[in-house]
Amino acid sequence: MKPIGKIIHYYDKISVAIVELTDKMKIGDKIKIEGGKNEFDQIVDSMEIDRKSVDSAGSGDVVGIKVKEKTGEGALVLRIEE
């Protein structure tokens, strides 16, 4: 697993994590979120930059992703290499 970003904010009511990326991420990537309230794996199935849907983003981008479980600020986002 490779770290690709960190959660800088979490919107509980809409289950969206704001991620500051240190590497690329794209729709379909399998990720692990660890270090927050929960630790879980999921597939990236939606991603937005400035409320506009995107298929991929890179280092330095700040993206919003829909998450299936609660998380928190400071949690790491890792790409699961298959």
Strand partners, 47: 65
Distance CA 80, CA 15 (A): 21
Distance CA 58, CA 38 (A): 25
* Maximum CA extent, the chain: 32
Report field, pTM of the whole predicted structure over 0.85: yes
Ordered per-residue pLDDT tens for the chain, 82 residues: 999 999 999 999 999 999 999 999 999 999 999 986 689 999 999 999 999 999 999 999 999 999 999 999 999 999 998 7
